[in-house]
Amino acid sequence: MSGKKSALDFVSTWDWAEIVTLRARQQISNDEMEVKELQERIMFILDQAEQRYEDYKIRQQFSVPAS
């Protein structure tokens, strides 16, 4: 695997566990509103990871290599 990072590299182990749990709940739910709320939570987690990735890219632009 290459050293190139993506937004998925910034999803924590706890967040992955929550996403898996939320997806499982979506699969068994018959409540359309609950499914929508679960999907919104998943998207929120992934949006946070995307923001951490964008912050990482900005920090990389301004970081000074160790000598």
Strand ranges inside the chain, DSSP E:
none
pLDDT tens, residue by residue, 20-50: 999 999 999 999 999 999 999 999 999 999 9
pTM of the model: 0.79
Q: State whether residue 29 is helix, strand or coil.
A: coil
8 Å CB contact between 9 and 53:
yes
Q: In this structure, what are the phi and psi dihedrals at residue 25, rounded to the nearest 5 degrees?
A: -65, -35
DSSP letter (8 states) at residue 5: -
Rg (CA), the chain: 16
